Amino acid sequence: MLWVSATIAASIALLARNAIQAGLTREIGTLGATMVRFVYGAPFALLLHTAAMYWTGSGWPALTLAFVGPAAAGAFCQIGGTALMLKAMDLRGFAVANAYIKMEPVLLALGGWWILGDVLAPLAWLGIAVATGGVLLAAFPRGTTLSVMRGQGVAIAVGLVAAGLFGFSAICFRAGVLALGDGPAVMRALDMLLATILIQSATMLVWLGISDRAALAGSLRRWRRCTLAGLAGACASMGWFTGFALTAAANVRTLSLIELPIAALVNRPLTGRAPSRRELAGIALVMAGIGLLLRAELA
C-alpha cells in the first residue's frame, strides 16, 4: 500500500503548490505561474533522481518510444491543464474552480478503463462517485442553482477541460511508468518525473522567451516563492508517479481528494474561519468515498 502514503504526501504538496501558484497568477500572469511549476521544479527533480541512482545503483532509463511517447504527451497535457486550472481560479476563485477540476477522477476512471484496461471493482466506482460528490457539495456556495451555474459557463468549461487534460496526462504517465518494466516503483517514478519536467521546462522557457519575457523577469524577482512552488510541484509529481507505478491512476486521483479535509484543518488556524455545515458534509462524503475505495483495494 505504498501508493496510499505516496498519494497523501503528494496531496499535501499539491495543496501548497496550487495556493502559491494562484497568488503568482495575479502578479506574473497565467503563463508565468504555469512555468514556475516546471522550471523551478526541475533542479529538485534532477537532485532527487541523482540521489536515487546513487542509492540504488540504477542507471538512466532507456529512451524507448513506449516511455518517451507517453511522457511527452502527458507533459504537454499537464502544461495545458495547469494553465487552464489557473485561469479557472482567476475567473471563479480557488475553491469553486478546484471543484470543477476535481471531476478528474471520474473522467480518469473511464479513460483508464478504456485506454489502459484498468479494471476497478464496483465498490471503487462507488467510492469515486461519492468522493467527487463531496468535493462539489463542499466547494459550491450555498444557494448555487442551475441558473447561477449557467452564468458561470466559461469558468465551468475551462475547469472541465483542465480536468480532462489532467486526467489524460495521468493516463499517459501511468502508461510510461509501466513501460519501464518491473524495477523499484520509486525509481521508475523518478525516471518519469525527470523526463516530463525537462520537456515541460524547455517548452515553457522557449514559449515565454518568445511571447512573454516580462513573466520570466517577474519570476526571477519573486524567486523565493517560485522556488517553493517548484519544490512543492516536484514533490507532488513524485508522489503521483509512485502511485501510478503501483495502482490504477483513478485510485490515486480519488485518494488525492483527501486534500479537501486537509485544507479545512489548515484553514481554521490560518484564517480563523471554521468550516460551514455544508463544507463539513462534503468532507464527510469525501472521507466516505475514500473509505469505500480503500476497502475495494484491500478486498
Q: What is the pLDDT of residues 129-184, one digit of tens each?
A: 888 788 777 666 555 554 544 545 566 777 778 878 888 888 899 899 989 888 78
Total structural domains within the chain:
1
Which residues span the domain enclosing 169? Answer: 2-298
Considering only residues 218 and 290, tell me which one the structure prediction assigns the higher pLDDT.
218
Rounded CA separation 271/133 (Å): 26
User: Is residue 259 pLDDT above 80, yes or no?
Assistant: no
Burial of 1 (0-12, 13-18, 19+ CB in 10 A): exposed
CA dihedral 263, 296, 4, 132 (to 10 degrees): -30
Considering only residues 278 and 204, tell me which one the structure prediction assigns the higher pLDDT.
204
Give the pLDDT mean for 38-58: 90
User: Is residue 116 pLDDT above 80, yes or no?
Assistant: no
Considering only residues 154 and 71, tell me which one the structure prediction assigns the higher pLDDT.
71
Considering only residues 295 and 228, tell me which one the structure prediction assigns the higher pLDDT.
228
Q: What is the pLDDT of residues 191-247, one digit of tens each?
A: 999 999 999 999 989 988 888 888 889 888 999 999 999 999 999 989 988 988 888
Give the pLDDT mean for 52-81: 88
- Helix, strand, coil percentages, rounded to 5, for the chain: 85, 0, 15
- For residue 66, the SS3 value is helix
